[in-house]
């Protein structure tokens, strides 16, 4: 049957054309195409690798940052605590000192007051003596003239002397 008998001419041309096609396409088409595809795949792979590497580096960096932050926080807390302690201490010291100082002042004031009092009392004693002397002098002087007026004068003098 003609349909199932291969024709010699067609076999020949088919072989020639197909082999030529294989060689032409291999050199001018498949080589650059497959090469380009491979190169691109390689590039994509390396880009992916780089991304992976960068991500792990980022993770490491983040961990470092967190550690640093924690350390900084701890340092800050410590410093604040120390400062507070110091200020507390200073306040307490100052208070103590102030109390001491106050007591000293009060003490000295009390002493001064006492001294003044003594001075005033001694002075008053002198004054009272002087006054009594004066009164006695006056009384003595009046006694000589009028008894009634003498009594009156004594009462007068006594009332005025009471104030001192």
Partner 1 sequence: MFSSIRRILSVALAATIFISSSLVAQHDEGAHGKKGVEGEINQKEHAIDQNLKENEEEFNIGQMIMHHISDSHEWEFAHGMVLPLPVILYSADRGLEVFSSSNFHNEHHEYNGYHLVHGDSEQIVPVDESRTVYDFSITKNVASMLLSAVILVLIFGSVAKAYNNRKGKAPKGFQSAMEVIILFIRDEVVKPNIGPAYEKYLPYMLTLFFFILVNNLLGLLPGAANVTGNIAVTMTLAVLTFIIVHLNANKHYYLHLFKPTGVPVALLPIMIPVEIVGVFMKPFSLMVRLFANMTAGHIILLSLFGLIFIFKSLAIAPVISLFALFMNAIEIMVAFIQAFIFTLLSSMYIGSAIEDNHEPDHGH
- Residue 39 or 64: the one with the smaller Cβ distance to partner 1 is 39
Q: Which residues, 6+ apart, have CB-to-CB distance to 22 below 8 Å?
A: none
Nearer CB in complex with partner 1: 33/129: 33
35 binds partner 1 (CB under 8 A): yes
Q: Please name which of 23, 4, 21, 3 lies closest in space to residue 13, comparing C-alpha atoms.
A: 21
Q: Does 47 bind partner 1 (CB under 8 A)?
A: no
Cβ-Cβ contacts under 8 Å for 157 (sequence gap 6 or more):
135, 138, 139
Phi/psi of residue 144, nearest 5 degrees: -70, -30
Q: How far is CA 28 from CA 15, 17, 32, in A?
A: 20, 16, 7
Specify whether the CB–CB gap between 135 and 159 falls below 8 A. no
Q: How far is the CB of 11 from partner 1 (least distance, A)?
A: 5
Block residue for tokens 């009384």: 139
Told to check if 34 binds partner 1 by CB under 8 A, we report yes
- Please report whether residue 48 would count as binding partner 1 according to CB under 8 A: no
Q: What distance in Å separates the CA atoms of residue 159 and residue 157, rounded to the nearest whole number?
A: 5
Query: Considering beta carbons, is residue 23 or 118 the nearer one to partner 1?
Result: 23
**Total number of residues binding partner 1 (CB under 8 A)?**
37
DSSP structural state of residue 4: G
Site string for partner 1, 58-97 (x = CB under 8 A): ----------------------------------------
Residue 136 in the binding site for partner 1 (CB under 8 A): no
DSSP 59: H
- 50 binding partner 1? (CB under 8 A): no
Which listed range, 10-18, 53-61, 98-106, 108-116, lies at the site for partner 1 (CB under 8 A)?
10-18
Q: Which residues bind partner 1 (CB under 8 A)?
A: 1-15, 17-22, 24-26, 28-37, 39-40, 43
């Amino acid at each position: 049957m003609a349909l199932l008998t291969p024709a010699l001419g067609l076999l020949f041309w088919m072989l020639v054309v197909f082999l030529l096609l294989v060689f032409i396409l291999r050199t001018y088409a498949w080589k650059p195409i497959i090469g380009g595809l491979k190169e691109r795949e390689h590039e994509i792979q390396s880009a992916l690798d780089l991304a992976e590497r960068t991500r792990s580096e980022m993770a490491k960096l983040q961990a470092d940052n967190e550690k640093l932050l924690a350390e900084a926080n701890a340092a800050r807390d410590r410093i604040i605590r120390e400062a507070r302690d110091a200020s507390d201490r200073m306040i307490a010291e100052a208070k103590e000192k102030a109390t001491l100082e106050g007591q000293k002042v009060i003490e000295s004031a009390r002493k001064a007051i006492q001294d003044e009092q003594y001075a005033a009392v001694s002075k008053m004693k002198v004054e009272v003596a002087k006054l009594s002397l004066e009164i006695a002098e006056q009384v003595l002087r009046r006694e000589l003239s009028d008894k009634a007026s003498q009594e009156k004068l004594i009462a007068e003098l006594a009332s005025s002397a009471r104030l001192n």
